[in-house]
Structures are given as C-alpha cells and as structure tokens.
Amino acid sequence: MPVSPDPTPYPLDHLAMRGADEDAALVLRGETLSWKDLRSRVAQMAGWLAANVPERGSRVASWAGKGELTCLMPLAAARAGLVHVPVNPLLKRGQVKHILDDSGASLLVANAGRVASLKEGDASCPVIDESEMLAAARNAEPLDTSSQADPDALSAILYTSGSTGRPKGVMLSHANLWLGAVSVAHYLGLESDDVALAVLPLSFDYGQNQLLSTWYAGGSVVPLDYLTPRDVIKACGRHEITTLAAVPPLWVQLVDQEWPEEATASMRRLTNSGGALTTDLVRDLRGLFPDARLFAMYGLTEAFRSTYLDPALIDTHPTSIGRAIPFAEILVVDEGGEVAPQGELVHCGPLVAQGYWQDAERTAERFKPAPAASEFGGTAVWSGDTVRRADDGLLYFVGRSDAMIKSAGNRISPQEIEEVVLATGLVEQAVAFGVPDARLGHAIHLVVCGEGDDEALRAALRRDLPNFMQPQDVRWVDAMPLNPNGKIDRSKLVREAS
C-alpha cells in the first residue's frame, strides 16, 4: 500500500531502517546492496566519519559520480553528527574551491580524477580519494545505533546559484529532508516494490530526493551517470524501472528515441521539475508511456518542492504547476502581502529551509515572515516567481522576477559566468543572459567587449566552467549599450539577441 504522510520528522539516517532485510535497496555497478547491506554500509561509513571528523556539526563534502559514496553519504554523515555538502560532479575546480571555502568543510572525499584536477590552494581541508575512503570504512568500527539528532539540526548544505554572485549554500535540516521524502513518497504513491532510476545529480535537491523518497517507501534505487539518452533507455529495460524523474531537456531527448517494449512495460510514473513541460512534450510522453502517471511539479531549493499537478489533470491542464504538496502551504500575494489571484508565490510550512549558510543579507531577502493569511506563520520563502491561481485553484507559472538562467534544468547565475569570463583577462566587459531555447529551456548568450580572441576565450571557458555553463553564442561588441543611469543596458542586449 502507498505510504501515509506522517508529519513526524526523524533524524535522516533513520531512512536506512525502512526496508525489509533481503529486498534490494541500491543497485550499484557490479553489486546490489540489500537493505541489510545498506544498513551495514551506512553504519561503517558513519563510524569512519566519526573517527576522522570528530567535531559534531563539521561539514564534509563529497565530489564524485553516482555510487556508494554519494548515495550513502547523506545518511552516514547524519548518523555521525556531521553536515553533508554534496558537490555537483560537473563543477570545475574554481567552483569547488568556493564551496569548500564558503562551507568551511573539514574534509573532501572525491574520486581520483577530480582530486587530480585540484591545484595547490584549491582545497582548504584534507582531501581523500573515494576508493581509499570506502576501503577504510570497511574496517571501521560501525555506528550501529541510529542517530538521536534533533530533527531541526542542520543536516546538509546544498549549493545553488543565485541571480547575482557565486553559489550560495541552502541549509537543510533533518526535518526538511525527512518530510520532503515523506511528502513525495505519499503523493507519488511509492511502494516497497518500486525501482527508481536516479539520473539527476545527487547534489540537486530534486536528484537527492530520488534516493530519499524511494527509500522512505522501502523501495530500490538504481543510480546512473549516463552519456546518451540510449543509456537511460537501456537501464529502464534492464532494471524494470518503475519511476523515472527528469528535467525538460532530457525528456526532449528521450521522446526522440525508439523505446523497446521492455523499457516501458514496468514504468508506473514519470516526474518532471526544473522547468516547465510544454503541451507538445506532455503529448509525446503520454503517447510513449500511456500507462504511466505523469507528474508535473514546481520547486525551489529553498523550500525543496512546492506544488504538483494531479496526473489525472495533465491532459486537460498540461501547463499548470498544480497545487501544494503535502506539508506545504502555498500563497499567492500582491505587493502588499495580501492574497491575490496573481502575484508572488510564497511557500510556508516545515519544508522551508533554514536560510543561506553564513549569508544573513541574502537570507533576509528571500526568507521573510509569512503573510498574515498563512496558517503556519513563522518564516516563509518568498520565491520571486509570479504565478496565477485560476478559479479552480490550479496554479500557473507566469514568470521570474530575477535574472536567473534556467538551462537544461540548472539554475545558473549570470554574474558567476561573467566573473569567470573577466578573470580570463581576454575581455574588458561581459554580460551573460538566457535566451529561449526549445531543447534547453534557455541557452546561455554571452556579450563581451574587447579585442580578444574568440577561440582563446572559448578554450578558457571550457577549462574554467562546467559544460552546463558554457555559452552557446558569444557576441563581440566595440562598446556596451548604457542606460540613463550609466549602467550596462542588459535589457537592450537581451532584446537584440531575441
């Protein structure tokens, strides 16, 4: 039977206790961990962490592909009384240095290739190879007793780009992560025989929840670092996948492929977040998976997930973001903070994060007292997104009030790209922004001023920026347009690129 939405939060490592001993919990390359194995490995990893990072509340970072380390670290760090900082494996050394410095990490565990990419001074903490750490954990004294941590204690810091500046760390408590898992497991109707294919980055809240919600239901997870859409399709058939979560750019690629019957036969549900589904994409997915339920969802890292659309409504309301998920209260308010048919989406309730790590100024901008109409009260996340509530109560996304670029499911800071471009020394000024793109959501457009070499600039950006931050177009200009205040006229640049 589907799980019930129990509102009682627990320490995150209690998720290791959810499944039956002999059932599969995690399907890795070369081995499958039963729930009994999972419990043993979490206890061993927690024991190693506690021995090597003895100060409770210390931050430990992981930077590797999907595998035993990155899947078990959220639970093992929680049991050891530590705070997990998952680093996107696509990031380059400059972004990783910022995250390590900003979080004050006491330890970085990374795979050999990523360790080798670091230069002297990049890591402000000890660094250990992933394989070495896993081998050492096998001989560690296990922490078999589940954590008794306060559910409101900090459990993880997820770094996400803002509209200005470098990535900021969103502070998530045990309760945030636990109740997020409960909520999603409930409204998706997850069961203990479900098998989820985890294709999204585990450093992404949507990606990490693939693990946590499936494990809350006692199901099994198959982590996959794929190179092509065909890899995803093959894995769906090989492992009889029942749950597939993706972002629109991946869905666009997947629906263009031929799917054999064995890859679709077991599918029970598809979930989408990180960008809006189009009417055409809904039609294509429904045609490809006629027996699977399609969940359109809206979320933000600062509150994990806000809304979902009942799959029964997806054919008639394909562009709606639905209604509030369990444990979330969603209000639409005008500039005066009063409930209105159209306005800013404000998320209230226990899924609201604890703010940004060591950044009181930006925390105060986004985390503010809930509107007077809120039943939860307390602190709410003011999303900065404009939505419309229809007469039937369904919500529709209208637009973003900030300059964030949302490309291939990633939230990208224009300023972060611009800082890297200027640091090359090849240009005098730089402006980055997103332009609509059918496959990516937004493609990154870069306008630069200077007498530099285009080939040299692109080579430098390939070196210093991850693939998802690479500009699709680079335009060189003699001078940037200015507005009446003497600032670069970004709006004009955007109009010229459209």
- The per-residue DSSP string of 301-365 comes to TTTS--EE--GGGTTT-TTEEEEEPTT-EEEEE-TTS-B-SEEEEEEESTT----BTT-HHHHHH
The per-residue pLDDT for 482 is 83
Burial of 92 (0-12, 13-18, 19+ CB in 10 A): middle
Task: Compute the distance between CA of residue 192 and CA of residue 420 in angstroms, rounded to an integer.
Answer: 46
Asked if the structure places residue 383 within a domain, the reply is yes
Average pLDDT over residues 3-32: 94
For residue 293, give every residue at least 6 positions away whose Cβ sits within 8 Å of its Cβ, in sequence order, or none: 189, 268, 269, 270, 311
The per-residue pLDDT for 403 is 73
What is the torsional sign of CA 263, 266, 272, 276? positive
Give the tens place of pLDDT for each residue, 405-423: 889 888 788 888 988 998 9
> Residue 186: is its pLDDT beyond 70?
yes
pLDDT-based confidence at 485, cuts 50/70/90?
A: low
Distance of CA 97 to the CA centre of its chain: 20
Domain boundary among the residues 395, 417, 435 is at 395
The per-residue pLDDT for 2 is 45
Q: For residue 351, what is the domain's CATH number?
A: 3.40.50.12780
**Closest alpha carbon to 497 in 472, 479, 478:** 472
Give the tens place of pLDDT for each residue, 440-469: 989 999 999 988 799 999 999 999 999 999
Average pLDDT over residues 279-302: 95
Helices (H), 189-335: 205-216, 229-238, 248-255, 261-264, 279-288
Task: Compute the distance between CA of residue 156 and CA of residue 78 in angstroms, rounded to an integer.
Answer: 8
Task: Compute the distance between CA of residue 285 and CA of residue 56 in angstroms, rounded to an integer.
Answer: 46
The chain-wide mean pLDDT, for the chain, equals: 94
- 3-state secondary structure at position 406: strand
Q: How many domains does the chain have?
A: 2
CB 436 within 8 A of CB 444: no
**Closest alpha carbon to 80 in 114, 125, 48, 116:** 48
> Residue 355: is its pLDDT beyond 90?
yes
Does one domain contain both 225 and 255? yes
Domain boundary among the residues 342, 361, 395 is at 395
Does one domain contain both 368 and 419? no
Asked if the structure places residue 437 within a domain, the reply is yes
The per-residue pLDDT for 166 is 77
Asked if the structure places residue 195 within a domain, the reply is yes
Residue type (1 letter), 299: G
Task: Compute the distance between CA of residue 395 and CA of residue 416 in angstroms, rounded to an integer.
Answer: 31
> Residue 1: is its pLDDT beyond 50?
no
